[in-house]
Amino acid sequence: MNPEEDLQILQSVDLSISVLMEIAKHADIRLTEIAQNLGETKPRILRSLRTLKHRSFVQRTESGGYRLGNAILVLGTAASTQIDLVKLASPILESLSQKVNETVQLRIRDHAEALCIAKFEPSRDLRVHAVVGRRRPLYAGSSKVLLAFLPEELQAELIPGRPDRMTPRTPVDRARILVELRRVREAGYCISHGEVSEQLVSVAAPILAFGGSVIGGINIAAPAFRTQQADLDRYVALVTAAAREISEGLSGGR
């Protein structure tokens, strides 16, 4: 199909990963639907599922569909202790979340999207819901901290020609986004008022490595109605401190 990009990829493994991702997205999905979504034949998917099941990567549901299995649970836990960023950040996120009593997230840039790889939600009833694995555009909301410290040419590549408008406040003009990114870089943090979701505000700071490259970003997300200017000021101070703490932990810790 495509002329480049595929050197030495084991196809049945690659397919099986796609199958897993499909099951992760839709719990209790059936063989036929997986085959359709991936544009593959049923026997091929069946062989893949059989193998994955044989290793407890998937299991069958009562209704005859498939869901992720225990081995994935185990792997996932191992991953969160192996990925330094998550390992180091988790207690800091938890403490930050308790201090502000709002939801906090750790995000990294994954290609042209922001990917949440850890989160903490406070135990109050009304709170911002966050999901590990969720992807968001880089050009809107506080995800901009992941973009603002990159070389400007790369920024330009990562901003789509015609950005999606998610709310009335979503920035869709490329030139204005670039200006805003410069502002974020100079300030060292980013505040978003309803750029991704109407009723939310989000305050983010970058986790920086040597040489000013960005490793990830942490942000506090809160309902706008209960967030005053004084809260925002406090959030900026706290989120910046937490981000610096993680940065230092990454350089210091072996």
User: According to the binding rule CB under 7 A, does residue 30 interact with DNA?
Assistant: yes
Partner whose binding site includes residue 30, from its own copies, DNA, none (CB under 5 to 8 Å by kind) = DNA
User: 217-234 burial, b if ≥16 CB within 10 A, otherwise e?
Assistant: bbbbbbeeeebeeebbee
String marking each residue 79-118 x if it binds DNA according to CB under 7 A: ----------------------------------------
Separation CA 134–CA 75 (nearest Å): 19
Residue 72 interacts with which of DNA, its own copies, none, CB < 5 to 8 Å by class: its own copies
Kindly tell me which of 46 and 224 has the beta carbon lying closer to DNA.
Answer: 46
Residue 42's binding partner among its own copies, DNA, none (Cβ under 5 to 8 angstroms by kind) is DNA
Q: Which does 31 bind (CB under 5 to 8 A by kind): its own copies, DNA, none?
A: DNA
Q: What single string gives the DSSP state of each residue in 186-200? A: HHT-EEEESSSSTTE
State in angstroms the smallest separation of the CB of 26 from DNA.
13
Interface segment toward DNA; rule CB under 7 A; list 38-46, 116-124, 201-209, 235-243? 38-46
Q: Strand 200-208 to strand 190-193: parallel, antiparallel, or no bridges (unpaired)?
A: antiparallel
Cα(28)–Cα(58) distance, integer angstroms? 10
Sign of CA dihedral 86, 92, 97, 98: positive
Count Cβ atoms below 10 Å from residue 89 Cβ, excluding itself.
Answer: 26
Q: Does 61 bind DNA (CB under 7 A)?
A: no
Contacts of 104 (CB under 8 A, 6+ apart): 93, 96, 97, 119, 120, 218, 219, 220, 221, 239
Query: Footprint of its own copies on this chain (CB under 8 A)?
Result: 8-10, 12-14, 16-17, 20-21, 23-25, 27, 47-48, 50-52, 54-57, 59, 67-83, 86, 108, 110, 115, 117, 131-133
